């Protein structure tokens, strides 16, 4: 499971509990303007041949945590089959996607979008003052 929080202009994805060990990562910090899309996925595909594990753990059809190479790009996973999964599409980052299990994907999406809108308004207000 992953906790998501906002730290100024960053979305912070903090891996919880033993998942830190399985994923070999504690947190991922992403600038809000590098997030290009988010969606809920009720049940991720965690099959045998869905990419190559670079670092982490994979139990096919059960659990995946860590860094994987899929469809020509690096993807970070921390999800269980049947979990509440959030997929975050990124640009200009080491990862192309984050596929993470969260407490509530809709509320996490709303929180990130609200923070990004606040950031845009503050940036726009600062640009007009000059």
Whole-prediction pTM: 0.88
pLDDT band at 76 (very low <50, low <70, confident <90, very high): very high
pLDDT in tens, 77-129: 999 877 789 999 999 999 999 999 999 999 999 999 999 998 888 777 765 54
- Write down the H helix ranges in the chain: 19-23, 105-129
Both structure tokens of 34: 């590098």
Number of separate domains in the chain:
1
* Cα 87 from Cα 39, distance rounded (Å): 5
Q: Of 91, 99, 113, which is closest to residue 11 (Cα–Cα)?
A: 113
pLDDT in tens, 9-35: 999 999 999 999 989 999 999 999 999
* Cα 97 from Cα 115, distance rounded (Å): 19
- The range of the structural domain enclosing residue 65 comes to 2-129
> For the chain, how big is the Rg over CA atoms in Å?
15
């Amino acid at each position: 499971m992953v906790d998501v929080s906002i730290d100024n202009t960053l979305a912070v994805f903090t891996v919880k509990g033993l998942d830190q060990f399985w994923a070999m990562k504690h947190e991922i910090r992403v600038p809000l303007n590098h997030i290009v899309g988010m969606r809920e996925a009720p049940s991720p595909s965690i099959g045998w041949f869905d990419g190559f594990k670079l670092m982490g753990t994979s139990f096919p059809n059960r659990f995946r945590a860590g860094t994987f190479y899929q469809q020509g790009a690096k993807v970070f996973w921390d999800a269980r089959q049947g979990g509440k999964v959030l997929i975050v599409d990124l640009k200009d980052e080491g990862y192309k996607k984050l596929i993470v299990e969260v407490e509530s994907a809709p509320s996490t999406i709303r929180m990130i979008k609200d923070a990004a809108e606040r950031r845009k308004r503050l940036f726009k207000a600062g640009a007009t003052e000059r």
